[in-house]
Amino acid sequence: MSRFVTREKLTILYDTLENQGIDVLFIRDSEEHRDVNMKYLSGHPEDASLFIDIQNRQTFLVPWDYQLAKDYSEVDQVINIADYEGGLIPATSETLKKIVDSNPKIGIPQAIPYGYVQTVLDQIPDAKIVYNPREIDSLLDKLRSTKSPQEISLLKKSIEISNQLVDEMEERMTNHTDIKTELDLALFVDIRMRELGAFGVGFETLVASSARSWQIHTYPRADQLPMSRPGLALIDFGVNAAGLTSDVTLPFVIGKMNSKMEKIVATVEHAHNEAIAKLDEARFLHEVAEVAIDIIEAAGFKMPHGLGHGIGLTVHDSPFLRKKPTHETLLNNWTDTPLEEGMVITIEPGIYEKDVGGFRLENDVIITSKGPKVVTNSHPVYIDQ
């Protein structure tokens, strides 16, 4: 495995941080505080410190597992903590001291606890910590918001398995076979994706019968409630087949619909389809979100979440598809996000009503040079009783 960041994007990172006067970017991933940028910038999966020397344009990795880092990372130097008395923290501090000159400015993202930073930097009293998440984290998010051809190729493995799971779930649910409860459906998806070659789930699978599908992210996550209860039900799942995750919501209509259910299903499908059509002509992502939200609100409903988001190394990568705010304070901090080639986003309108359940239709879309391409095959599944 190698790092996901391209050379072109790494150059953007170096140039931008140099213009901000930062000497070293400090990235850390640990069990307590995961930071996906470790994997993105170095290829190393987890549990390490990464120093990006801006002036000399080099990368230094201080991993907990040296052999793993040698196999998986793509950096200029891997530091073996066994060479340092005291282990990880002395190795981290000494590596940083070798990189920087006097009065260094060290940029840190918000994922690093301040206490850990202070422990490492105690030995460099003249260092200045630059904690500016609006600039540093936004830059990293921006770099990850568009995917390289390599990333899209890896993501397609997750997409292929997701589509097969959709087909298999539809077959089992409509034929009333072995899936009786919410837990049955969650276990089927979680186990089956591994049988089909996935690393595992991209996030904890969410299953909800009509008894509680009105919850946006159903809690508890899996239960023994029967899936056969009439109404609107759903499953929201992600497949991680090669380090990047898909994100699909498959909605079910169980039994005969009443007039309110019919209106909800028709409204969500309309919002979903019109949002995807808008991707062909929109300049900014908020324009796409507003099309779907306007349709839902015109029908007399509310959507209590954004229209979608990016996917990749995390299930909620940048960018985000939200309606442009009108509140002055929010608007002052707003930046229009242009629609760009290489983005991989979800389109997931939903309506949630406690008396009949929730209905969310979610598909993944790749923005190509020829326009948007819907790559997952989620659709309403109708189940007779």
- What is the Cα–Cα distance from 307 to 294, expressed in whole angstroms? 11
Task: Using the 3D structure, point to which of 116, 144, 172 is the last residue of a domain.
Answer: 144
- Output the six-digit token pair for 229: 């209860």
**Are 196 and 315 within one domain?**
yes
DSSP state of 268: H
CB of 84 closer than 8 Å to CB of 94: yes
Select the more confidently predicted residue: 221 or 349: 349
| Residue 139 scores a pLDDT above 70 | yes
Residue 183 has pLDDT above 70, yes or no: yes
Q: Which residue reads 């921006």 in tokens? A: 142
219/212 Cα distance (integer angstroms): 9
Cα 15 to Cα 13: distance, rounded to the nearest angstrom: 6
d(CA 292, CA 58): 45
Residue 1 has pLDDT above 90, yes or no: no
Q: How many CA atoms lie within 13 A of 208 on its CB side?
A: 29
Q: How confident is the model at residue 100 (pLDDT cuts 50, 70, 90)?
A: confident
- What is the model's pLDDT at position 221? 67
Can you say whether residue 320 is alpha, beta or left, with left for phi > 0 and alpha for psi between -120 and 50 degrees? beta
Question: Is 228 within 8 Å of 185 (Cβ atoms)?
Answer: no
Same-domain pairing of 172 and 288: yes
Question: Considering the entire predicted model, what is its pTM?
Answer: 0.93
Q: Is residue 116 part of a domain?
A: yes
State whether 138 and 155 are in the same domain.
no
Pick the last residue of a domain from 127, 144, 161.
Answer: 144
Residues 154, 139 share a domain: no
Alpha-carbon distance of 337 to 203, in angstroms, equals: 26
In a domain, 373, yes or no: yes
Mean pLDDT over 251-260 rounds to 97
Assess whether 186 and 228 both reside in one domain.
yes
Residue 323 pLDDT > 70: yes
Q: Does 174 lie in the same domain as 81?
A: no
Dihedral angle at the C-alpha atoms of 28, 34, 39, 41, nearest 10 degrees? -40
Say what the pLDDT of residue 132 is: 86
Residue 2, domain member (yes or no): no
Asked if the model's pLDDT at residue 281 lies above 80, the reply is yes
Would 235 be classed as within a structural domain?
yes
Please indicate, yes or no, whether residues 267 and 277 belong to a single structural domain of this protein: yes
**DSSP strands (E only) in the chain:** 24-29, 48-53, 58-63, 77-78, 105-108, 128-131, 200-201, 206-208, 231-237, 239-240, 248-254, 308-310, 317-321, 344-347, 350-353, 357-360, 363-368, 371-374, 381-383
Cα–Cα distance for residue pair 127/368, rounded to 1 Å: 44
Q: How confident is the model at residue 264 (pLDDT cuts 50, 70, 90)?
A: very high
227 and 202 in a common domain = yes
In whole angstroms, what is the distance from residue 280 CA to residue 362 CA?
A: 18
Please state, in angstroms and rounded to a whole number, the distance separating the CA atoms of residues 319 and 142.
8
Question: Are residue 113 and residue 20 in the same domain, yes or no?
Answer: yes
Q: State how many domains the chain has.
A: 2
Per-residue confidence (pLDDT) for residue 222, from 0 to 100: 65
336 domain residue, yes or no: yes
Domain match, 160 and 50 both = no
**DSSP H helical ranges for 212-363:** 259-278, 285-298, 328-332
pLDDT, average across residues 295-315: 97
Angle between helix axes 114-121 and 88-99 (nearest 10 degrees) is 70
pLDDT for res 165: 98
Is residue 21 helix, strand or coil? coil
Give domain status of residue 1, yes or no.
no
Element (H, E) at 69: helix 66-72
**Rg of the chain in Å (alpha carbons):** 23
Instruction: Indicate if 328 and 347 belong to the same structural domain.
Output: yes
pLDDT at 193: 98
**Do 153 and 138 fall into the same domain?**
no
Residue 29 lies in a domain: yes
Domain of residue 110, CATH code:
3.40.350.10
Question: Sign of the CA dihedral 210, 213, 215, 218?
Answer: positive
Report the alpha-carbon distance of residue 272 to residue 366 in Å, rounded: 15
What does the pLDDT average to over 172-185? Answer: 92
Predicted confidence (pLDDT) per residue in 188-227, tens digit: 999 999 999 999 999 999 999 999 999 998 877 666 899 9
At 258, the amino acid letter reads: N
Tell me which amino acid residue 220 is: P
User: DSSP label at 82?
Assistant: G
Q: Of 115, 144, 173, which residue constitutes the final position of a domain?
A: 144
pLDDT at 126: 84
pLDDT band, residue 185 (cuts 50/70/90): very high
Dihedral, CA atoms, 314, 316, 320, 325, nearest 10 degrees?
-150
Write out the residue range of the structural domain in which residue 253 sits.
146-383
CATH code of the domain in which 265 resides: 3.90.230.10
pLDDT band of residue 331 (cuts 50, 70, 90) is: confident
Give the count of beta carbons closer than 10 Å to the beta carbon of residue 122.
11
Q: How far apart are the first and last CA of the chain?
A: 48
Task: Determine the pLDDT at residue 54.
Answer: 96
Q: Is residue 298 part of a domain?
A: yes
